[in-house]
Chain A
């Protein structure tokens, strides 16, 4: 057992537990994107970053891949974390403006504008589909191809592989294509329907909003 402090509350967890899981057990919400309880942690999206305090210094780490350590001091909702997290979600939105999951996340965090140039790539390379295919379906039909800016999720030689059983799991788990944002016009990179510009109850564009953000307005982490 290791004892660590999360947001000023002391807790004991089993060795090998990640900080994200420890926080979850305590009921502290850390927003996540590429994390899935049924899949191995990957640490690709960095949305789940937390501040690890070491004396006078602190560093930002992805909590989904950070193992809990003895006497660790974690802040999940400090100014630094919130600010950085906003930038990360803005960057993700800039490469995937039509993702409803991301738009909801932006609304929840109070993002009013995407300050980056929007370039729709249709994929944030979170690796959920690849891990799902490998770990849950034990298939290995899709994977990452290429490197750097030309990295993408694909099948070998762009043909449906023999291993693929057409389970559709890759589409089901995808945060981009699973729940595409139906709003047509983007205002500053945000769909405008879900975010704070329009009250949620009277959201004219996106009917799915009230489900995800709640009828009483936007929850701010």
Chain B
């Protein structure tokens, strides 16, 4: 009786599970193949710019990052930058490791599905000391819009001497008001610099 009752359910579960499993396997294979193609393209870009042993190690860092779902592009560009600047390989590995760690943290805050440009800009902001919770706040205020312009504005303002907390307040205020991108560009860093030593926070 029980068995008779379970039969259709079991059949339904099996009927659904088999195609789903096949679909999962197929999408996993697709993702693997896509990642494989992406890594092959990375190799092509690194080849000729680095000695093979250095390229291999860089590839390893990028491979582990993409396995976590992080984008390869910011890491490739940073490696190429290091190569163009003629620095020692160790400096490139350290820079890539830092960037990977920051992007990982950024992805936790704004989502792994965020565009590579959002993740790398968010990573840069984290490296200057911005708290991850601020990224969550910004993601929520901006909805699905890109975070590059507000985060870029924050980074530029602080690089030009603005007090980080004041710069952030201005940026998040604009984000909450759904301001256009040009509004961020119009922020004057001179309004946000420290007037007193105690303001430098």
- Tell me, yes or no, whether A binds B: no
Chain A contacts to B: CB under 8 angstroms: none
Chain B contacts to A: CB under 8 angstroms: none
